[in-house]
Amino acid sequence: MPPLNFMKTSLDHLPEKKQRELARIQEILFEEFDLAKGNSQKVYNQKGRILKIVLFGSYARGDWVDEAGKTAKGYQSDFDLLIVVNYAQLTDMATYWYKAEDRIIRDRAVKTPIGLIVHSLGEVNDKLALGQYFFTDIIRDGIALYELAGHRFVDPKPLKPKEAYKAAKEYCEDWYGSAMRRLEIFQIEMDKETGENQWLKDAAFTLHQCVERLYGAYLLTTTLYSPSTHNIRRLRSLVEAKDERFREIWPDEDRFQRRSFELLKEAYVKARYSKHYKITEEELYWLGERAELLAALVKQACEKRLKKLKAKAGKYGLAPLQWTVSKDLADRFSKSTGLMLPR
């Protein structure tokens, strides 16, 4: 790996249209960050700075997909951006970055979806010092769109194979197990025959937590990192960018499918606090079925990753993850996607 103070900076591999979009995104980020700090007298607001903006993922590597308007599914890779700031307090998404994200989404000059993760320089350097794969890959493959002089990343230390396996296995057992318990609770809530909307709202929230934990299990097992967010669309985007098989989990070919996933995304807040939130049994049954498929694919991917880490580590045992989908569901998924799932 080259010295980290010489990160790649060229965007020549991107079409000019994409380069203009990234330039516009940077303008909005700086403008909204300054507005979010306001006139506060707190030190971290007065001295707060964006130290780096790093493009990572498919647009940095050069393997992005942009099928908008070209295929029925119209899959689009996100612009994945790491924003590095000088105070941990400035990483709060709701306070400093929500309006920037919303404005970028609505800006007519930006046609590409975005995904932001925000960390302080200290946080990133701590993770690099531990050899965390996610940030090491970003530094190795990412492109620095903006850097404030004098604030460099530390050189990452290689993670020992046994440590990597132990951490990934613990993450997988914890997060995957938690997700499966949520799925069982969801099924209990769906068996209630009261017909009351509150039971459906509770079930929607529970399923949201299941899906959030499944994506977390995959990311933590494969990269030892998952962003601190309840936005399952963002988590979905990160996972789908790493493994294209996951793009088949949530079809969005019609209004019912798109609306159902959007209701699941909103369930973290609205299913608990909004009296106007409504979701039907039909939507929940469909979402539950897709969550089962997600669980099976996460299980498959995590076991493959753990097997690879185990081989490098040498002597640790590998306990199988206890989850399968029904033969009928696995067969239907395999027929429509060509993917084989545990059953």
Predicted confidence pLDDT, tens digits, the chain (343 residues) = 444 456 899 999 999 999 999 999 999 999 999 999 998 999 999 999 999 999 999 999 999 988 766 666 667 899 999 999 999 999 999 999 999 999 999 999 999 999 999 999 999 999 999 888 899 999 999 999 999 999 999 988 888 899 999 999 999 999 999 999 999 999 999 887 555 678 899 999 999 999 999 999 999 999 999 998 999 999 999 999 999 999 999 998 889 999 999 999 999 999 999 999 999 999 999 999 999 999 999 999 999 999 999 998 875 555 666 666 677 767 766 766 666 666 6
The pLDDT score that the predictor gives to residue 75 is 79
Cα 143 from Cα 57, distance rounded (Å)? 10
- pLDDT at 5 (0 to 100): 52
286 Cβ contact list (under 8 Å, min separation 6)? 256, 257, 260
Look at residue 192 in the predicted model and tell me its pLDDT: 75
Per-residue pLDDT, 274: 93
Q: What CATH number does the domain located at 161-337 have? A: 1.20.120.330
- Nearest Cα residue to 84 out of 128, 35, 46: 128
Tokens (6 digits) for 201:
């709202």
Residue with tokens 């206890």: 322
The C-alpha atoms of residue 175 and residue 220 are separated, in whole angstroms, by 9
In whole angstroms, give the CA distance from residue 166 to residue 128.
18
> Long-range contacts made by residues 108-112, C-beta under 8 angstroms, separation at least 24?
109/20, 109/21, 109/24, 110/21, 110/24, 110/25, 111/17, 111/21, 111/68, 112/18, 112/21, 112/66, 112/76, 112/77, 112/78, 112/79
Cα 60 to Cα 128, 131, 136, 181, distances in angstroms: 19, 21, 14, 37
CATH superfamily of 4-147: Beta Polymerase, domain 2 (3.30.460.10)
Contact 143, 12 (CB under 8 A): no
- 165 in Cβ contact with 310 (< 8 Å): yes
The amino acid at 43: V
Crossing angle of helices 255-273 and 232-242, in 10° steps, is: 130
Please give the Cα distance from 110 to 336 (Å, whole number).
33
* Domain ranges (residues) in the chain: 4-147, 161-337
> In the prediction, which pLDDT does 88 show?
96
| Helix (H) or strand (E) segment spanning residue 50 | strand 50-56
Classify the C-alpha dihedral 45-90-50-122 as positive or negative. Answer: positive
The secondary structure of the chain in percent helix, strand, coil, rounded to multiples of 5, reads 60, 10, 30
Q: Which residues pair with 117 in a beta bridge?
A: 82
Share of the chain above pLDDT 90, in %: 76
